[in-house]
Amino acid sequence: MRYETERTRRRGQADTATDTLARGLGLFSIALGVVEVAAPRALARALGMKGQEGLIAGYGVREIATGIGILASKDPTPWIWGRVAGDGLDLATLATALEGNNPKKGNVGIAMAAVAGVTALDIYCAQTLSWESPHPLPPLQDYSDRSGFPRGIEQSHGAASDFEVPRDFRTPEALRPYTQPETPRHPQPSM
């Protein structure tokens, strides 16, 4: 069970930097999706992926849906993880464009580097959001007003003065240190 205190950094919610990053990734996802839906032929031509226009447009629809999910949900964590999965799919699709005699392999390499950079941001954001609970954590109990003396310290002085140590708590006679009985210094005259 986790507790949070006044000193807990995030107090059960994502910090503002991570929240801002998630919103930025949501906006980026929508913008990229719009480009992919609006201009799949231009992208396919730039990447040497002719015949893949439908796939690019489909990826654009996925990006728009993910971006809307990130911006509209209270907890964007699953949507950011969805972006990570989509990035993996994008990288796998771009890797197929590196095969054969594609004259646009340079563009594909640049696109793969860009996707890898965004993937790193997505993973960082998703992990940071996953570490935090969407629900506030229970506060840590405060015992600072307790002293261990329910009646006060003054009343505890001498409270055990009439306590007699039970016989079984005492050291047995055989284990006690040997002491000589004290003899009087000046013998007393006997009567």
Note the pLDDT of residue 88. 95
pLDDT tens-digit series, residues 120-137? 999 999 998 888 765 666
Give the pLDDT mean for 77-99: 94
Which is more confidently placed, 70 or 14?
Answer: 70
* Partner residues linked to 139 by β-bridges: 4
Domain that holds residue 119: 15-131
Residue 102 has pLDDT above 90, yes or no: no
Residue 13 has pLDDT above 80, yes or no: no
Would 127 be classed as within a structural domain? Answer: yes
Number of domains in the chain: 1
Determine if the pTM surpasses 0.85.
Answer: no
**In the chain, pLDDT over 90 holds for what percent of residues?**
49
**Pair of tokens at residue 134:** 């969407």
Which is more confidently placed, 74 or 21?
Answer: 21
Kindly indicate the confidence band of residue 2, based on its pLDDT and cuts at 50, 70 and 90.
Answer: very low
Would 177 be classed as within a structural domain? Answer: no
Note the pLDDT of residue 136. 63
Would 55 be classed as within a structural domain? Answer: yes
pLDDT tens-digit series, residues 168-189? 888 887 888 887 776 666 666 6
Which is more confidently placed, 32 or 169?
Answer: 32
Kindly indicate the confidence band of residue 119, based on its pLDDT and cuts at 50, 70 and 90.
Answer: very high
81 contacts: CB under 8 Å, gap ≥ 6: 126, 130
For residue 139, give Cα distances in angstroms to 12, 15, 23, 126, 188. 10, 18, 29, 25, 75
Would 77 be classed as within a structural domain? Answer: yes
Would 108 be classed as within a structural domain? Answer: yes
Would 101 be classed as within a structural domain? Answer: yes
Would 185 be classed as within a structural domain? Answer: no
Are residues 71 and 43 in contact, defined by beta-carbon separation less than 8 angstroms?
A: no
| Dihedral of alpha carbons 106, 110, 116, 122, sign | negative
Are residues 80 and 126 in contact, defined by beta-carbon separation less than 8 angstroms?
A: yes
Would 157 be classed as within a structural domain? Answer: no
